[in-house]
Amino acid sequence: MSRSHTPLRIWSHPAMQAEPNKPQAESQARSLVGEEYEVEVGPVAHGGHCIARTDEGQVLFVRHTLPGERVVARVTDGEEGARFLRADAVSVLSASKDRIEAPCPYAGPGRCGGCDWQHAKPGAQRRLKGEVVAEQLQRLAGLTPEEAGWDGTVLPAEGDKLPAGQVPQWRTRVQYAVTPEGQAGLRRHRSHEVEPIDHCMIAAEGVSELGIEKRDWTGMESVEAIAATGSQDRQVILTPRPGARLPLVELDKPVSVMRVEEKDGGVHRVHGRAFVRERADGRTHRVGSGGFWQVHPKAADTLVTAVMQGLLPRKGEMALDLYCGVGLFAGALADRLGDQGAVLGIESGKRAVEDARHNLAAFDRVRIEQGKVEAVLPRTGITEVDLVVLDPPRAGAGRRTVAQIASLDPRRIAYVACDPAALARDLGYFRDGGYRVRTLRVFDLFPMTSHVECVAILEPASKAL
């Protein structure tokens, strides 16, 4: 269905007239920041915004709105002649039926940048995420949902299906920024500015009960709070401003304390354990400071289940866990492959590799190699494997690594992805390497934000014939 866009420029915001007489450098296009447009809002786009157009044909990426709304959009970034502008909906003239009043008092234009969809009903948030995944699959991999073996739904984590206005408390790791006056807050969208807060609604109970927002953090740049799942371990990681002394950390619950070293960015122990213990798939995982662990308390188990249901590991098989972190999937595979099976994990982080070796010490036939997948995988001498799990960072795996994986002829591949765009691009490369998507499952492991987690199961295209 085509939708008519008849945007009108209606007025200029005072911010754009701050220096009206200042001559513009000849080569510098005029900033449009502060200018306002009345627009009809089109579809959702990847990144937590929707698409609209100015009457000059410029694309507007508008936050704080929903598809089908009519809003006044104020430009936050961009200049005349640019292909696209960023904007915030500062006034809603005609509201979507999916709109609710944001439950969080810190959400809204120019405020906290942590959540994108506070103003959308929970079911609508998942639908929007599904539309983004479908659009990326179509545009970057040429796949319809049916061709990807996906029913188009985005599944909430267990316990997260709540009525509109209620917010799941899921964030077990929160990075607070600190104002120069020492107050904890969260960064504003695409900004270094801090929105001071007294409570984050999506923070897990174990984080909230530390009372970070009530303390004075003068001298700190940021304070990260971690509440482990399945253990009582709590940790804060302090990043001091240059030359600042560490405060005495007295919180409402006992914590271990780490600091980020100014010189080398390394994370060093101040007191307590230098790691937290996370439970998933029936095992305990040591996760050192700075190491990766899924943020939603249900995410690790949800993803292990989806990966194992897709791969159906058989006793005695050989598997790879690429980008293995502290060994979540390597352990799950080793458990299911039995004494005759074998798992090789590859991970670039030194500390994560130490943790993975510690976590998987009970399995004789698990090996963890440190280094980048793209460098280590070709050096292993492995010419064939049965199963591969890859769980790369947001940038995805890329053409060379995908080709390398396909050349090992696995019978199934599980691709765990936190960015649907990188996933869709890589699925295209897998197709070039002779693999097709068998099933895709999409999980809302980041409620209230625009983020989403996908698990794609691939198999050789020849098998499907």
Ligand X SMILES: C[S@@+](CC[C@H](N)C(=O)[O-])C[C@H]1O[C@@H](n2cnc3c(N)ncnc32)[C@H](O)[C@@H]1O
* Positions in the binding site for ligand X (CB under 6 A): 292-294, 323-325, 328-329, 346-349, 352, 372-374, 391-393
Q: Choose between 61 and 429: whose C-beta lies nearer to ligand X.
A: 429
- C-alpha angle 8-12-18 in degrees, rounded to nearest 5: 160
CA-to-CA distance for 391 and 439, rounded, in angstroms? 16
Report whether 390 contacts 405 (CB < 8 A): yes
If one counts every other C-beta atom within 10 angstroms of the C-beta of residue 348, the result is 16
Q: Who's near 286: CB < 8 A, 6+ residues apart?
A: 275, 276, 277, 326, 355, 358, 359
Q: How far is the CB of 324 from ligand X (least distance, A)?
A: 5
- C-alpha angle 189-193-194 in degrees, rounded to nearest 5: 90
Report whether 420 contacts 443 (CB < 8 A): no
Binding site members for S-adenosyl-L-methionine: 294, 323, 347, 391
Is residue 418 part of the annotated active site? The answer reads yes
If one counts every other C-beta atom within 10 angstroms of the C-beta of residue 232, the result is 11
Q: Choose between 119 and 285: whose C-beta lies nearer to ligand X.
A: 285
Among the listed residues 112, 200, 324, 418, the single catalytic one is 418
Q: How far is the CB of 295 from ligand X (least distance, A)?
A: 11
Q: Choose between 35 and 391: whose C-beta lies nearer to ligand X.
A: 391
Per-residue CA distances from 431 to 140, 189, 227, 288 (Å): 12, 36, 40, 37
Q: How far is the CB of 373 from ligand X (least distance, A)?
A: 4
Binding site members: 294, 323, 347, 391
Q: Choose between 255 and 303: whose C-beta lies nearer to ligand X.
A: 303
Q: To which residue do tokens 């293995």 refer?
A: 324
Q: How far is the CB of 465 from ligand X (least distance, A)?
A: 32
CA-to-CA distance for 108 and 92, rounded, in angstroms? 12
Per-residue CA distances from 261 to 70, 144, 185, 258, 349 (Å): 48, 48, 22, 10, 17
What distance, in Å, lies between the first and last C-alpha atoms of the chain?
Answer: 35
- Beta-strand ranges (E) seen in 329-393 are 342-347, 366-370, 387-390
Q: Choose between 41 and 307: whose C-beta lies nearer to ligand X.
A: 307
Q: Choose between 41 and 303: whose C-beta lies nearer to ligand X.
A: 303
Q: How far is the CB of 214 from ligand X (least distance, A)?
A: 31
Q: Which residue is nearest to ligand X (CB)?
A: 325
Q: How far is the CB of 303 from ligand X (least distance, A)?
A: 7
Q: Which residues are catalytic?
A: 418
